[in-house]
Amino acid sequence: MKTQVVIIGSGPAGLLLSEILHRHGIESVVLERSAREHVLSRIRAGVLESTTVDVLRENGLAARMDAEGHPHDGMRIAWAGRDSFMVDTQATLGRRFMVYGQTSIQEDLYAAADRRGQPVLTEVADVVLHEHDGAPGAKPCVTFVQGGEKRRIDCEFIAGCDGFHGVSRRSIPESVRKEYEKVYPFGWLGVMARVKPLPDITYVNHPRGFALASYRNEKLSRFYIQVALEDKVEDWPDDRFWPELKARFPAEMAAAIEEDATIEKSIAPLRSFVSEPMRYGALFLCGDAAHIVPPTGAKGLNLAVSDVFYLSRALARWYGQGKPDLLDSYSAMALRRVWSSVRTSWYLTNLLHRFPHFSEFDQKAQEYELDYLKNSRFAQAALAEQYAGLAYEKVD
C-alpha cells in the first residue's frame, strides 16, 4: 500500500487532519489501535474556542455543531463567600465560544470520513515507524498488524496523532526530545447527569476544593469536582457526590442544581506536559501526542485543532507550491500556541484549586489574584482572550 500521508490515530486530531488534507487533494490513510465504537464512546470536554469553530465551519464540519451546539458569551467564576462574576468574551472581544461535546465532534468526523470513503484502518496493532528521520534518500513507511496479518504502507509524511500513550512521540530519539512536565496533586471527578444545566459555565474556588458546572444540552449537565489523587470512582457514590458538589457552589446556585442518577462517572489526574520538537524528519506530531493540558479551561481539543490547522496549511503549501517553509517552521509555530494554552490552563488550575501544600501566604496570594480578576476589566479582557482562543499566526 502507498499513500502521501499516514496518519496514526483517529481521535479528533487524526480525523480532522485527514479531512482537511482531502479538501486539498492530499491522500492519507488513518491507522487506529482501538475499535471505532471505543473511540466514539470517550467522553471529554466540550468548550470550543472561536478559532476551532471557524476551522470546523471552513471545512464543512459544522452543520450539526451549528444546529445543536450552544454559543456562549463567557465563563462565570465563583468563590466561597463572595459574589460571582462573568469573564465576558462577547463584551470584551466581540467573540463567542461554543459548547459542543468532543464526543459529538468525534461522531461528526467519523461520519465525514465515511462520506468521502476515507480509509480508516481500525484495530491495528504493533504500529512501527521506519525511515522517518529525514535522512537524504530515506523512504518513510509504517508497518502494523491487522487481523493477524503484517502490513506496510509507504508514504511521504507521517502524522503522529496517536495521543499521549501513542507510538509516534516515542519514535523520536530521546537524544532529540525534550519533555516538560508538571503533575498536580489532585484529580477531577467528572459526572454526566440528565438535569437542566446552570445558565453559565461556572468555575468555583471553595475551601472544600474546586468545582465546575458545564453542560452538553438543555437536558444534560456535566459537573466536575476536585478530588484526592488516590480517590476511586467507587469512593464517590451519587449520595456522596451531589451534597459535595452543592457544598462548593454559592447557595443560590446550589439550590438551582437538580439531582438525578449520574450516567457517567470517571476520575482523571491533572497534568501539564509538552514534548519538543513537534517535528522529526518526516514525522509531525499533533494534539495529545505532543502535549497534555489539565482540563481547567478546556484547551486540549482546541490545541489539537490548532496543530492540525498549522500542519495542514504546511502540507498544502508543500504539495501545492513545492515550498517547504511552513513544514520547516511547523514545530516552532505550533509550540508557540501550545505553550500559550499550557500557560493559561496552568494559571487557571493554580487560581481555582485548593492545593494540599498551600501555605497561608499562597492562599492569600490566590485570593488577591481572584480579587484583581474580579475588579479589573483589563485582567478580565486578558483571560477572555485566552479563553475564547488566541488567533492563529498568519503567513504570506
- Choose, by CB under 6 A, the member of 28, 205, 214, 221 that binds ligand PHB: 214
Residue count, binding to ligand PHB (CB under 6 A): 11
Q: Does 8 bind ligand APR (CB under 6 A)?
A: yes
Q: Does 276 bind ligand APR (CB under 6 A)?
A: no
**Minimum distance from CB of 122 to ligand APR (Å)?**
9
What does the per-residue mask of binding to ligand APR show for 354-383, with x meaning CB under 6 A? ------------------------------
**Minimum distance from CB of 7 to ligand APR (Å)?**
9
Kindly name the residue from 100, 319, 330, 387 that is annotated as catalytic. 387
Q: Does 248 bind ligand PHB (CB under 6 A)?
A: no
Which residue, 39 or 98, is less far from ligand APR as judged by CB? 39
Candidates 41-49, 162-170, 335-343, 371-379 — which segment interacts with ligand PHB by CB under 6 A?
A: 41-49
- Choose, by CB under 6 A, the member of 9, 11, 14, 46 that binds ligand PHB: 46
Active site residue 299: yes
**Minimum distance from CB of 5 to ligand APR (Å)?**
15
Q: Does 295 bind ligand PHB (CB under 6 A)?
A: yes
Q: CA distances (Å), 150 to each of 6, 121, 138, 349, 387, in order?
A: 16, 13, 22, 45, 45
Candidates 157-165, 258-266, 267-275, 350-358 — which segment interacts with ligand APR by CB under 6 A?
A: 157-165
Candidates 128-136, 179-187, 286-294, 370-378 — which segment interacts with ligand APR by CB under 6 A?
A: 286-294
Which residue, 169 or 222, is less far from ligand PHB as judged by CB? 222
Kindly name the residue from 22, 100, 184, 203 that is annotated as catalytic. 203
User: Which residues are marked as active site?
Assistant: 72, 203, 295, 299, 387
Interface residues with ligand PHB (CB under 6 A) are: 45-47, 201, 212, 214, 222, 295-298
